[in-house]
Structure 1
Amino acid sequence: MDQTYYPSIWISDVHLGYKDCKADYLLDFLNCTRCDTLYLVGDIVDLWSLKRQFYWHPSHYQVLECIQKKAESGTRVIYIPGNHDETFRNYVDMTLFNVEVHHTYIHTTSAGKRFLLLHGDDFDSATRYNKLISIIGDQAYDFLLFLNRWTNRVRKLYGGHYWSLASWLKNRVHKARAAIAAFEQAAVHEAKKQGMDGIICGHIHQPRINVTDGIVYCNDGDWIENCTALVENEQGRIELLHWSDIQKVLNVVELEAQSIDGVKAA
């Protein structure tokens, strides 16, 4: 199989062990790409969901197996645990099965730009936002994903591609939009405080690349609602890929050696 090469790839919020995890899309993405460094930016395994009700589809194991094979074959795999897999924060600064565990990490692009990497739940106290849980509650969010699941089953019958009803609805709820904006502002503030050129995180299931106050905000999204990943090409350009929509490039940020030019739409 021909694989597209990227120096670096970022994924997060996979939520293995949760019934709405789109593991099949992620497996396709992992099998179609190769990289020097694979960043796992938290919530890879959903220990919260597994404690409530055990669910483990064979494809969830295949995702872990694929990541492990990449680590064994020379890909550097860096894991930054999130709140749903926070148990693994007990192993920070250790290496487990060829996977490095860190609380935060600093990535430097080939264009010389420094990005702070963290999951993003650090900003919950500032935004009081966590996957809409604090806005509409756990049960309502599960119902939203239930609607998302059945909408796409119908779309599939008619030959349609995967489409996130959940994300579409979130973007039309005023309080959700305000909370997302507050999260982004908190992330940008933290990156600026630490003297970074940008920040890469996940947590809120809202894929996005944006430049605010000279700081590049990158959120790699999730594999429940959006099936998205961030990639860096050989020129140091960071792209946001929507894998369920025929590898559509949603946004591109040019990271030049001397300056950040801004955001381009694909």
Structure 2
Amino acid sequence: MKPREQFMDDAHGLFGDAADGDEKRDPLRFRTIWISDIHLGTTGCQAERLMEFLRATESDTLYLVGDIIDGWQLKRRWYWEQSHNNVVQTVLKKAKKGTNVIFVPGNHDEVIRQFIDLDFGGIKIRDELVHVTADGRRMLVLHGDRFDGVIACAKWLAYVGDSLYTMILKFNQWFNSWRARAGLPYWSLSQYLKSKVKNAVNYISSFEDALADEARKRGLDGVICGHIHKPEIRDIGGVTYCNDGDWVESLSALVEEPSGELRLVSWQEIMQLKKAGKTKAAAKDKDLVLA
């Protein structure tokens, strides 16, 4: 882990090339990608897997839909791995190469909101905006924390909840390291609790309804957000609600195909597609050699 002073000394490196080892193979191509809730600066951040995802994909537009850097946790305890640097470097490299990168700050990186409507390192910082899909749908894009009653009415309670969530994640890391040694797949305690605890289910449903209602009031076709770490695409009263998930547990993103179709993808799916592509390429090369 980098101490705070060493991180500041290395800050200039954020604008250099991404870490060595970038894949040279053709990446999977999408019209648009939305990712959120990365929480760089925390032990729960899955930065290495996000790096694999970013290297394996390309898009015309990349939306960073809030909570990219976890300022809440960094205030409590400084934590910044090289892999977190690599994520920032890779995003900046994509912007430099022509990807339209738009950063919509969330509550954990709310300090960035003072720079709304400015551009930084080729990255546009916006509070919210409307994205038009290839098939003509108008989608509201925002982080979503303003529609969270806990944050809007009792921010101190949100801090308490964040601390409890961090404790659950630490337990989850220990528990899943044991499961991995036992040859068992990953299992998320917090996702299980969200699906089983009645209050959590009601909270998520209320959040989703509030976002869909906001899009409906504005005469839009749908809404794309993050914040609650629950990937979802569903119709709510004629409005398409999309949540791209997170990079702490779900390891998911929302993508738009060239046709305008919106769908959720996971890190596992992208890695499998990439592996399948490499296998086909290897087979093709073998055929050429044999010929």
TM band (smaller chain): 0.7 to 0.9
Cα 1:138–1:44 change in 2 (3 A) is closer
Whichever of the two has the greater Rg, that structure is: 2
Alignment partner, residue 109 of structure 1: 133
**In structure 2, what is the equivalent of residue 2 of structure 1?**
26
CA contact (8 A) 1:15 1:223 kept: yes
**Aligned residue in 1 for 2:228:** 204
Matched, 1:190 2:233: no
Q: Share of identical aligned residues, percent?
A: 45
Distance 2:108 2:96 in 1: 25
How far apart in 1 are the matches of 2:193 and 2:42? Answer: 21
Conserved? CA contact 1:208–1:218, under 8 Å: yes
Shift of 1:34: 0.3
CA distance in 2, matches of 1:126, 1:19: 24
Tell me the SS of whatever aligns to 1:89: helix
Deviation at 1:161, TM superposition (A): 4.4
- Report how far residue 135 of structure 1 moved: 11
* Contact 1:151–1:165 (Cα < 8 Å) also in 2: no
Say if 1:125 and 1:137 are closer, same or farther in 2 by CA, change over 3 A. Answer: closer
SS at match of 1:29: helix
SS in 2 for 1:171: helix
> Structure 1 residues 102, 54: closer, same or farther in 2, change over 3 A?
same
- State the shift of 1:124 in Å: 1.6
1:6-45 residue CA offsets vs partner (Å, 9 max, x unmatched): 0100000000001100111111110000000000000100
Distance 1:117 1:216, change over 3 A: same
* SS state at 1:93 partner: coil
Within the alignment, does 1:12 sit opposite 2:24 as a pair? Answer: no
3-state SS, counterpart of residue 6 of structure 1: strand
Whole-Å separation in 2 of the counterparts to 1:136 and 1:48 = 11
Partner residue, 1:119 = 143
Q: Deviations over 1:185-236 (max 9, x none)?
A: 1000000011110000000111111101100000001111211100000111
Cα deviation digits, residues 116-144 of structure 1 (max 9, x gap): 000000102388799xx659734432221
CA 40–151 in structure 1, closer or farther in 2 if over 3 Å, else same = same
Is residue 77 of structure 1 aligned with residue 101 of structure 2?
A: yes
What CA deviation, in whole Å up to 9, does each residue of 1:149-206 have, x standing for no partner? 1222123224444432321221111100000000001000000011110000000111
Conserved 8 A contact 1:220-1:240: yes
CA contact (8 A) 2:145 2:151 kept: no
Match of 1:264 in 2: none
Sort the Cα spacing of 1:106 and 1:222 in 2 relative to 1 into closer, same or farther, 3 A.
same
Q: How high is the TM-score relative to the length of structure 2? A: 0.80
CA deviations over 1:88-122 (Å, ceiling 9, x no partner): 11111110000001000110000000000000001
Instruction: State the alpha-carbon separation in 1 of the partners of residues 258 and 33 from structure 2.
Output: 12
Partner of 2:72: helix, strand, or coil? helix
SS at match of 1:68: helix
Is it true that 1:242 corresponds to 2:266 in the alignment? yes
Is 2:167 aligned against 1:146?
no
Structure number with higher strand proportion: 1
Structure with greater proportional helix content: 2
What root-mean-square deviation, in Å, do the aligned CA atoms of Structure 1 and Structure 2 show? 2.2
What residue number does 2:191 align with? 167
